[in-house]
Amino acid sequence: MIWLLLVLGGLALVVAAPYLHEALKPHMDDKARRSAPGKFAELSRGCTHYRWLGATRGPVAVCVHGLTTPSFVWNGLAPGLGALGFRVLVYDLYGRGYSDRPSGPQDSAFFVTQLEELLEDQGVDGDITLLGYSMGGAIATAFAALFPERLRQLVLIAPAGLGHDLGPLAERVTHGGRLGRWMMQAFFARSFRKSTEAERDLPSSVEGIVDLQQGELHYRGFVPAVMASINGMVSEDLREEHHDIAQSRVAVLAIWGGQDSIIPISSMGDLAQINRAARQEVIEDAGHGLTYTHSAAVIHAMRDLMCD
């Protein structure tokens, strides 16, 4: 009987350990935000960190980052956008960076509401260039489908919403129920460190990006937020939204990485079938991190697509 109790106790500890580890992480609070480079807006679901970069005057470009890398992913592109004449607004999605980590589903309605409220808070009415990278491309697509009249143009960089491959762990999270959630809590940190470490020797326009990415694991709520987004925003099929955007005649620029293993290049063909007016470019030697590994090429592609 004692051995049985010990075995059961050991199993209970193994099951509980990932959740205990998460619970012991520090909150993203005022103390943690003292080093934040930007400002904060109090929105309906919590505090949102944002920064204005680029030019001091000119049209507004709003940049939406992806699943695991907060707004610092735009640090390398913002100067180029500024050189194109844009005032650049970047912000941290809920669950990432210096923003709050509210619980609950993280679907298109969740993220579109955050963006809509931030634009209202900052007095940005319309005629914006909306840029979305990876999952941020899916968020930008959902926003553009709902509010086409507010956009000057939509720029999608390796966007989710038309297919993706996040690997076996994400697949298990999407279809594995409680077991998938436990596996995410137990193994995501190790997987994330391994995947980001593989990019340490790549050229990057964002100084220390690997350490910045891995630093997200330090705070409570990041891993649950990634899990909620995998089950929510990332899993949404946005073909209908792309069709609505095509019907609205919003100008769409799409930029893809030719070596992207996460967002397949076949998505480019899918977008072309849905929206024949979309202008598209492939950076042949770029992977999924093209916003920071190939910043100059992305800006060059944007300039060419805008002026074509």
Three-state DSSP class for residue 202: coil
Q: Which stretch of 1-5, 81-85, 190-194, 223-227 has the lowest confidence by average pLDDT?
A: 1-5
The torsion angles phi and psi of 155, rounded to 5 degrees, stand at -115, 120
Residue pointed to by tokens 């993220």:
111
In the predicted model, what is the mean pLDDT of residues 244-267? 95
Q: 3: pLDDT confidence band, cut at 50, 70 and 90?
A: low
- pLDDT tens figures, 103-115: 999 999 999 999 9
* pLDDT for the residue 274: 97
* pLDDT for the residue 229: 95
Beta strands in the chain (DSSP E): 39-43, 46-54, 60-64, 87-91, 128-133, 151-157, 251-257, 279-283
Residue 128 reports pLDDT greater than 60: yes
Element (H, E) at 118: helix 108-121
In the predicted model, what is the mean pLDDT of residues 275-300? 96
Q: Which of 184, 191, 129 is nearest to 155 (CA)?
A: 129
Q: Which stretch of 11-25, 53-67, 268-282 has the lowest confidence by average pLDDT?
A: 11-25
Strands of the 279-283 sheet, one edge to the other:
39-43, 46-54, 87-91, 60-64, 128-133, 151-157, 251-257, 279-283
Cα dihedral 162, 267, 279, 230 sign: positive
Q: What count of Cα atoms within 13 Å lies in the side-chain half-sphere of residue 57?
A: 0
- pLDDT tens figures, 157-215: 999 999 887 777 666 666 667 887 888 888 889 999 999 999 999 999 999 999 999 99
* pLDDT for the residue 20: 80
| Residue 24, number of CB atoms within 10 A of its CB | 8
* pLDDT for the residue 170: 62
What mean pLDDT, rounded, does the chain reach? Answer: 91
| Residue 284, number of CB atoms within 10 A of its CB | 11
In the predicted model, what is the mean pLDDT of residues 132-157? 97
* pLDDT for the residue 179: 81
Cα–Cα dist 289/276, whole Å: 26
Residue 123 reports pLDDT greater than 90: yes
- pLDDT tens figures, 69-97: 999 999 999 999 999 999 999 999 999 99
pTM, two decimal places: 0.94
